[in-house]
Amino acid sequence: MLRKILIANRGEIAVRIIRACTEMGIRSVAIYSDADRCSLHVKKADEAYSLGADPLAGYLNVHRIVNLAVATGCDAIHPGYGFLSENPELAEACMRRGIKFIGPTAEVIQRMGDKTAAREAMRAAGLPVTPGSEGNLENLEQGIELAEQLGYPVMLKATSGGGGRGIRRCDNTEDLKKNYQRVISEATKAFGRADVFIEKCIVNPKHIEVQILADEHGNAIHLYERDCSIQRRNQKLIEIAPSPQLDEAQRQYIGGLSVIAAKAVNYTNAGTVEFLLDDDGRFYFMEMNTRVQVEHTISEAITGVDIVEEQIRVAAGLPLRYKQDYIKRRGYAIQFRINAEDPKNNFLPSFGRISRYYAPGGPGVRTDSAIYTGYVVPPHYDSMLAKVIVWALTWEDVVTRGERTLKDMGLYGIRTTIPYYLEILKHPVFRSGEFNTGFVEENPGLVDYSTKRRPEHLAAALAVAMAAHAGL
């Protein structure tokens, strides 16, 4: 078994990984920027090392992180999600230095992180793939030609995109011309690669994804699906497991298909295969995420499998503990991403001091977060503060439990998306369990958009947050 793990991440996912380490008797090593020195992951880890003043550079510095792991006697690195988690260079550097990377091999990360290469691999494995480019676009003219063949609307996507960024819907040639350079420059800035491709836009699809676990001995299983159709700007807000929109035959089909996908690319460790489901009940492979996902929690809730613990066991070379038919699912789980954003002000980020916080509790409730009373939300990172996960036996009950739990939670001093989620939970379409990725946009009435956008608010909030930091 591994003895000591460096966690190359911050916030709630770092805390989540430390919890798994503690239960497994493994020592944990945290890293942190100056902005994070009061962060919970720093307090909870057995050891913690500063990466200096820059809020991001340290978390993204492959060599520094690997050197630190070697110097502190770690035998593995867990990358969490975001940051370096899908960067093949970290996996590669780990291998060279005799450190185990907790995730798939560098080759698999490289291949599946490239959306066009992943589409190609999945097409070869016999999966249904969203119709679109065979490779990356060579130029705008090729894009226009292809879009005409596919028929509008189409999606223009960054090949190395992630986190809902670098994606634009184009309804006609004009849109495509307008967005082409925009997506390229967005992709170059955010992902360091200019490649883009086109796929057919599935209008108002459901986002269905399957959790996979695979070991280094050729075994692969799935932990059923999650429904992530409640999104805003291609970013997930609320996730549900299993999907209330699938029947049992569809569930078995998509689970089996995902295991085939994992085996086809010799996948190891935890991963997610993402699909779109159209109105005619057809599934299309969209992409694969080669890491633990933000919403892994709800698969844990319905199956009882600790996904992070399995990741560590697999990395230690152990075979999977469970065969597919051992994986039973029970009830429904919902995860709410509690973001520091003001839903009444166009989801403007909100920073500053959390004056009072208490996590919700009671039956069927789990909170994963790295916040506490007095914690100052820094402006440099992702706005997700906490994940609230609720579980109940039936869909109706889990919705009711969600409402009770969000009302139970106390989070003061900054704006959050909690009031927005309470509105969604009341919505008859949500309650019916039949929704698609258009839900948020089709229901602008959920929030008061009449409130004017106030960009100066952002600057003011930033100044307050910086001042609070300086004074710590």
Q: Footprint of Mg ion on residues 237-276 (CB under 5 A)?
A: 274
Closest approach, Cβ 276 to ligand ADP, in A, equals: 6
The answer to whether the CB of 183 falls within 8 A of the CB of 157 is: yes
**Does residue 164 touch ligand ADP according to CB under 6 A?**
yes
Build a one-symbol-per-residue string for 113-152: x at contacts with ligand ADP by CB under 6 A, - elsewhere: -----------------x----------------------
Choosing from 291, 337, 366, 401, which is the catalytic residue? 291
Contact window for ligand ADP (CB under 6 A) among 292-300, 342-350, 389-397, 421-429: 292-300
Is the Cβ of residue 274 or residue 310 nearer to Mg ion in the bound state? Answer: 274
Closest approach, Cβ 247 to ligand ADP, in A, equals: 21
Closest approach, Cβ 421 to ligand ADP, in A, equals: 16
The answer to whether the CB of 454 falls within 8 A of the CB of 347 is: no
**Does residue 180 touch ligand ADP according to CB under 6 A?**
no
Closest approach, Cβ 393 to ligand ADP, in A, equals: 25
Question: Is 16 assigned a catalytic role?
Answer: no
**Does residue 289 touch ligand ADP according to CB under 6 A?**
yes
**Does residue 286 touch ligand ADP according to CB under 6 A?**
yes
Q: Footprint of ligand ADP on residues 327-346 (CB under 6 A)?
A: none
**Does residue 167 touch ligand ADP according to CB under 6 A?**
yes
The count of chain residues that interact with ligand ADP, using the rule CB under 6 A, is 30
Is the Cβ of residue 161 or residue 343 nearer to ligand ADP in the bound state? Answer: 161
Contact window for ligand ADP (CB under 6 A) among 99-107, 154-162, 243-251, 385-393: 154-162
Contact window for ligand ADP (CB under 6 A) among 257-265, 283-291, 304-312, 415-423: 283-291
Closest approach, Cβ 205 to Mg ion, in A, equals: 12
Q: In this chain, which of 11, 82, 104, 364 binds ligand ADP, going by CB under 6 A?
A: 82
SS (H, E, C) the chain: CCCEEEECCCHHHHHHHHHHHHHHCCEEEEEECHHHCCCHHHHHCCEEEECCCCCCHHHHCHHHHHHHHHHCCCCEEECCCCCCCCCHHHHHHHHHCCCEECCCCHHHHHHHHCHHHHHHHHHHCCCCECCECCCCCCCHHHHHHHHHHHCCCEEEEECCCCCCCCEEEECCHHHHHHHHHHHHHHHHHHHCCCCEEEEECCCCCEEEEEEEEECCCCCEEEEEEEEEEEEECCEEEEEEECCCCCCHHHHHHHHHHHHHHHHHCCCCEEEEEEEEECCCCCEEEEEEECCCCCCHHHHHHHHCCCHHHHHHHHHCCCCCCCCHHHCCCCCEEEEEEEECEEHHHCCEECCEECCEEECCCCCCEEEEECCCCCCEECCCCCCEEEEEEEEECCHHHHHHHHHHHHHHCEEECCCCCHHHHHHHHHCHHHHHCCCCCCHHHHCHHHCCCCCCCCHHHHHHHHHHHHHHHHCC
Q: Footprint of ligand ADP on residues 236-255 (CB under 6 A)?
A: 236
Closest approach, Cβ 12 to ligand ADP, in A, equals: 11
**Does residue 234 touch ligand ADP according to CB under 6 A?**
yes
The answer to whether the CB of 209 falls within 8 A of the CB of 313 is: no
Build a one-symbol-per-residue string for 193-232: x at contacts with ligand ADP by CB under 6 A, - elsewhere: ------xxxx--x-x-----------------------x-
**Does residue 81 touch ligand ADP according to CB under 6 A?**
yes
User: Dihedrals φ, ψ of 62, to 5°?
Assistant: -55, -50
Is the Cβ of residue 284 or residue 357 nearer to ligand ADP in the bound state? Answer: 284
Q: Which residues contribute to the site for ligand ADP (CB under 6 A)?
A: 81-82, 86, 130, 155, 161-164, 167, 191, 199-202, 205, 207, 231, 234, 236, 274, 276, 286-287, 289, 293-295, 382, 437
Query: Active-site residues: which are they?
Result: 291
